[in-house]
Amino acid sequence: MGVTFLLASARFVGNIARLSLGPLLPLLSLELGFPTESKPALLSAYSSGYILTQIAGGFFADRYGAPFVLAFTSGASAFVLLALASAPGEWGVTWWIRLYAALGLLAGPLFPASSVAVKEGVEPERRAGAAAVVDAAASAGTCVATLAPAVAAATFGWRGVFIMTAVAALFVTIGSIRLGNAPRQKQFKTKSSRRLSVTSTENGASAESPYKILFSIPSLSLYLCNSCDNFCKYILNAWLATMFVERYKVSAAEAGGWLAIVEAVGVVSRVLAGMRDPLGEKFRWVASSVTFLLQGAFLFLAFNAPNPKSCALFLTLYAFCTGGHSVGFRPRYFETAPHLAGLLSGYGNTIASMASAMGPVAIGMLLGPEKGEDTELDNEDERWNRVAWLMLAVGGGLGLIGALGLGGGKKSNKTPTESKREALSGSRRMSYYELSVSVLADEDFLKEIGDLDSDKED
C-alpha cells in the first residue's frame, strides 16, 4: 500500500507540474511580458525534454532500483520549480523555455520508474490494481491542473503555485529515499519474490537478449496499444473544447464543465478496474481488445453527435471504457519481462509520447482551413466527421491489432527446480536477493546444490 501511495503521489504531482503552465500562462504573460510568438515554444518545451529521458530512466531504474530514480527526478524537479518561482522578470521567456525543457528532462524517467517500483514492491496478484490506481492518480492530477492553478494563483499568486508544487515534490523525494533505505525484506514479500524468480526463468526472459525482448511481437504490440491510446487521449485534450465552441456554439466555461466530467469518469473507471482483475495475465489481450473496440465506436459516435449533450454522453462512455486498459495492456509493461520493466516502459512511453504530439497536429491538418476560407468546408459536421473516422481507425482498428498481438504468458515445461538451477548456473540478471529468497524457500533445491556443483566440476 505504501509503494502504491508513493507512486500515485509522484504521478499526481508530476502531472500538476507539467500541466499547470497552461492555466497560468495569461498571468505570466501579463506580469513578465512574454511575447505572443514565444508561447508555442514555451508550451512545447516540457514535452521536448520529456521524450528524451524515458529510455535512460528505465535503464537506471532496472539497474539501480526505482527508489533511486524516483528520488532523483522528484528532488531535481522540485529545485527547477523553485527556480521558476524565483525567476526575476528580466530573465525573459528564453530562460523559462530552458527551465521547462529541463523540467521535462527530469520528469521523463518517472513513468518507467513507476513500472519498476510496482514490479519490485507489489505482490504479483495486486500489481494490475496498483498500476491502475497510479494511472488514475495521474489522471486526477490532470483534472486538478486544469482548474486549481488559476484559483490558487488568485489567492497566493503564480509564484505560490510553483512553490506549493515544489514542496509536494520534495515530500515525494523524502518518501522515495525512505523506500530505498527500507530493508529489502519489506520491499518484497517472500511469496512475491519466490513467484517473481520462478516466473522470470519460466518465461525464458532472463536467458534472452534484451533487444530481442524489447523488439519482440508482444513488446511491439504493447507499444502500439499505448500509442493508439495516447493518440486519441491527447486529441481529446487538445481539440474537444474547440469542437464544443465551434460546432455546438456553447461557451468555453460550459465546454470545460463537460470535459471535466469526462475526465472524472475516466479516473473512477481506472480505480474500479484496478479493484478487480478477473482475466489475469493470460487474457490481457482480451481486456484491451474489447476496450479498443468500444473506445473506437464511442469516439466515432461522439464526433458525429448532433448536440453537446449526446456528444458528452458518448465521451463519458468512452472514458468509462478506458479503465479496461488498466487490466489490459498496461500491466504488460512489468509482466512481459520483469527484469526489463523499466526499459520496456521507457521505449513504450517514448513512442507513445511521439503519438501524443502527432495527434493534435494531425487533427489540425484534417480539419483544413478555418470556416469561411473555403465554402466546401463550411459544413462543421462534415469537418468533424473526418475526425470521427480517424478516431475509429486508430482507436478501434490499430488499437485492436496491437491488443491481439499482446498474447499471454508462455508456459514452460521445466519444473520450478530446473528453472532455478538454470537461473543459478546461467543467468545473473536476477538479483541475488530474489534468488536467495527463492532458494531458501525450496528444500528440494537445497539438496540439489551439491549435484549442481558436481556438474560444474565435471
* Span 150-197, pLDDT tens digits: 788 888 888 999 999 999 999 999 999 988 876 543 444 434 333 434
Give the CA dihedral 303, 304, 307, 308, nearest 10 degrees: -10
> In the predicted model, is pLDDT for residue 409 greater than 70?
no
Q: Which of 126-130, 144-148, 296-300 has the lowest mean pLDDT?
A: 144-148
Mean pLDDT score across all residues of the chain: 79
> In the predicted model, is pLDDT for residue 237 greater than 80?
no
Closest by Cα among 18, 97, 8, 85 to 50: 18
What does the pLDDT read at residue 183? 58
> In the predicted model, is pLDDT for residue 336 greater than 70?
yes
Q: Which residues of 357-389 are buried (b: 16+ CB within 10 A; e: fewer)?
A: bebeebbeeebeeeeeeeeebeeeeebbeebbe
> In the predicted model, is pLDDT for residue 77 greater than 50?
yes
What does the pLDDT read at residue 124? 82
> In the predicted model, is pLDDT for residue 301 greater than 80?
yes
> In the predicted model, is pLDDT for residue 28 greater than 60?
yes
Read off the pLDDT band of 370 (50, 70, 90): low
Q: Indicate the pTM of the whole model.
A: 0.76
- Highest mean pLDDT range out of 54-68, 243-257, 416-430? 54-68
Read off the pLDDT band of 147 (50, 70, 90): confident
> In the predicted model, is pLDDT for residue 436 greater than 60?
no
Average pLDDT over residues 234-250: 81
Burial tier of 410 (Cβ tally within 10 Å: 0-12, 13-18, 19+): exposed
Average pLDDT over residues 360-371: 73
pLDDT: is 30 or 159 the higher one?
159
Read off the pLDDT band of 29 (50, 70, 90): confident
- Highest mean pLDDT range out of 101-105, 251-255, 263-267? 101-105
Contacts of 315 (CB under 8 A, 6+ apart): 236, 240, 258, 262, 298, 299, 302
What does the pLDDT read at residue 376? 45
